[in-house]
Amino acid sequence: QVQLVESGGGLVQAGGSLRLSCAASTRTFTNNAMAWFRQAPGKEREFVAAIRWSGDMTYYADSVKGRFTISRDNAKNTVYLQMNSLKPEDTAVYYCAAGRRPVRWINEYDYWGQGTQVTVSS
Protein backbone atom coordinates (compact mmCIF):
# COMPACT_ATOMS: atom_id res chain seq x y z
CA GLN A 1 0.00 0.00 0.00
CA VAL A 2 1.11 3.53 -0.81
CA GLN A 3 -0.27 6.56 0.97
CA LEU A 4 -0.15 9.89 -0.86
CA VAL A 5 -0.68 13.26 0.80
CA GLU A 6 -1.01 16.48 -1.20
CA SER A 7 -0.35 19.94 0.19
CA GLY A 8 0.25 23.48 -0.99
CA GLY A 9 -3.14 24.39 -2.40
CA GLY A 10 -4.75 27.75 -1.77
CA LEU A 11 -6.21 30.91 -3.23
CA VAL A 12 -4.21 33.02 -5.69
CA GLN A 13 -4.96 35.75 -8.21
CA ALA A 14 -4.71 35.19 -11.95
CA GLY A 15 -1.10 35.39 -13.08
CA GLY A 16 0.20 34.17 -9.74
CA SER A 17 2.11 31.04 -8.81
CA LEU A 18 1.66 28.10 -6.48
CA ARG A 19 3.68 24.96 -5.71
CA LEU A 20 1.96 21.71 -4.81
CA SER A 21 3.67 18.84 -2.99
CA CYS A 22 2.83 15.14 -2.90
CA ALA A 23 4.47 13.09 -0.16
CA ALA A 24 4.49 9.31 -0.73
CA SER A 25 4.82 6.87 2.14
CA THR A 26 7.04 4.62 0.02
CA ARG A 27 8.22 3.89 -3.53
CA THR A 28 7.53 0.44 -5.00
CA PHE A 29 8.76 -1.60 -7.97
CA THR A 30 5.29 -1.71 -9.53
CA ASN A 31 4.39 1.95 -8.97
CA ASN A 32 7.25 3.82 -10.57
CA ALA A 33 5.22 6.64 -12.12
CA MET A 34 3.78 9.67 -10.36
CA ALA A 35 1.22 12.02 -11.82
CA TRP A 36 -0.95 15.02 -11.12
CA PHE A 37 -4.62 15.11 -12.12
CA ARG A 38 -7.23 17.77 -11.50
CA GLN A 39 -11.00 17.94 -11.35
CA ALA A 40 -13.06 21.11 -11.66
CA PRO A 41 -16.69 21.31 -10.49
CA GLY A 42 -18.99 19.48 -12.89
CA LYS A 43 -16.11 18.19 -15.03
CA GLU A 44 -14.25 14.91 -15.43
CA ARG A 45 -10.91 14.34 -13.78
CA GLU A 46 -8.14 15.23 -16.25
CA PHE A 47 -4.44 14.53 -16.59
CA VAL A 48 -2.03 17.37 -15.81
CA ALA A 49 1.54 16.04 -15.65
CA ALA A 50 3.58 12.89 -14.93
CA ILE A 51 7.11 11.79 -14.06
CA ARG A 52 8.97 8.60 -13.10
CA TRP A 53 11.01 8.13 -9.94
CA SER A 54 13.93 7.37 -12.26
CA GLY A 55 14.88 9.21 -15.44
CA ASP A 56 14.34 12.83 -16.42
CA MET A 57 11.43 12.66 -18.87
CA THR A 58 8.28 14.57 -18.03
CA TYR A 59 4.82 14.65 -19.60
CA TYR A 60 2.26 17.46 -19.69
CA ALA A 61 -1.25 18.16 -20.85
CA ASP A 62 -1.37 20.74 -23.63
CA SER A 63 -3.41 23.06 -21.44
CA VAL A 64 -0.57 23.48 -18.92
CA LYS A 65 2.55 23.02 -21.06
CA GLY A 66 4.91 25.94 -20.61
CA ARG A 67 3.24 27.06 -17.38
CA PHE A 68 3.48 24.03 -15.06
CA THR A 69 6.58 22.02 -14.12
CA ILE A 70 6.61 18.61 -12.44
CA SER A 71 9.68 17.56 -10.47
CA ARG A 72 10.70 15.12 -7.74
CA ASP A 73 12.95 14.66 -4.72
CA ASN A 74 13.64 10.94 -4.34
CA ALA A 75 15.33 11.38 -0.97
CA LYS A 76 12.06 12.76 0.40
CA ASN A 77 9.70 10.54 -1.64
CA THR A 78 8.07 13.76 -2.79
CA VAL A 79 6.77 15.01 -6.14
CA TYR A 80 6.10 18.68 -6.84
CA LEU A 81 3.99 20.66 -9.26
CA GLN A 82 5.14 24.23 -9.82
CA MET A 83 2.27 26.23 -11.31
CA ASN A 84 3.00 29.61 -12.88
CA SER A 85 0.85 32.09 -14.83
CA LEU A 86 -2.25 30.66 -13.23
CA LYS A 87 -5.62 31.21 -14.88
CA PRO A 88 -9.15 31.02 -13.44
CA GLU A 89 -9.70 27.88 -15.52
CA ASP A 90 -6.95 26.18 -13.48
CA THR A 91 -9.30 26.21 -10.49
CA ALA A 92 -9.82 22.59 -9.41
CA VAL A 93 -9.05 19.97 -6.83
CA TYR A 94 -5.58 18.64 -7.65
CA TYR A 95 -4.83 14.97 -7.00
CA CYS A 96 -1.55 13.10 -6.79
CA ALA A 97 -1.47 9.53 -8.16
CA ALA A 98 0.97 6.60 -8.33
CA GLY A 99 0.97 3.95 -11.07
CA ARG A 100 3.02 1.73 -13.35
CA ARG A 101 3.38 4.10 -16.30
CA PRO A 102 3.27 7.89 -16.79
CA VAL A 103 0.12 7.91 -18.92
CA ARG A 104 -2.96 10.13 -19.07
CA TRP A 105 -5.49 7.37 -18.31
CA ILE A 106 -7.00 7.49 -14.84
CA ASN A 107 -7.52 3.72 -14.54
CA GLU A 108 -3.79 3.06 -14.92
CA TYR A 109 -3.05 4.54 -11.51
CA ASP A 110 -3.36 2.43 -8.37
CA TYR A 111 -3.05 4.97 -5.56
CA TRP A 112 -4.55 8.42 -5.05
CA GLY A 113 -4.26 11.20 -2.53
CA GLN A 114 -7.18 13.07 -0.99
CA GLY A 115 -6.62 16.14 -3.15
CA THR A 116 -5.83 19.78 -2.47
CA GLN A 117 -7.97 22.73 -3.57
CA VAL A 118 -6.50 25.34 -5.91
CA THR A 119 -8.60 28.44 -6.54
CA VAL A 120 -7.53 31.15 -8.99
CA SER A 121 -9.45 34.41 -8.84
CA SER A 122 -9.81 36.91 -11.67
Q: Higher model confidence: residue 62 or residue 30? A: 62
Write down the pLDDT at residue 31. 82
Q: Is residue 29 predicted with pLDDT exceeding 80?
A: no
Contact 102, 115 (CB under 8 A): no
Q: Give the alpha-carbon dihedral of 58, 75, 108, 4, to 10 degrees.
A: -120
Q: How many C-alpha atoms does 48 have within 13 Å on its Cβ side?
A: 27
Q: How many C-alpha atoms does 69 have within 13 Å on its Cβ side?
A: 9
Write down the pLDDT at residue 56. 84
Short-list 77, 58, 78, CA closest to 69: 58
* Segment 12-34 mean pLDDT: 93
Write down the pLDDT at residue 28. 79
Write down the pLDDT at residue 113. 97
